[in-house]
Amino acid sequence: MDWTVYILQCADGSLYTGITNDLERRFAEHKAGKGAKYTKGRGPLKLVYQENCEDRPQALKRENKIKALDRPAKVTLIASAPISEL
Query: 3.40.1190.20, 3.40.1440.10, 3.30.1130.10, 3.40.50.150: which CATH number matches 3-80?
Result: 3.40.1440.10
Could you give the strand order of the β-sheet that contains 46-53, starting from the edge strand earlier in sequence? 15-20, 3-9, 46-53
Cβ atoms of residues 45 and 10 within 8 Å: yes
pLDDT value of position 58: 97
Task: Give strand ranges (E) for 1-86.
Answer: 3-9, 15-20, 46-53
Domain map (residue ranges) of the chain: 3-80
pTM of the predicted structure, to 2 decimals: 0.92
52: left (phi over 0), alpha (psi -120 to 50) or beta: beta
CB 4 within 8 A of CB 19: yes
Q: Would you state the pLDDT for residue 54? A: 95
Distance from C-alpha of 70 to C-alpha of 86, rounded to nearest angstrom: 26
pLDDT at 63: 98
Q: What is the pLDDT of residues 42-81, one digit of tens each?
A: 999 999 999 999 999 999 999 999 999 999 999 999 999 8
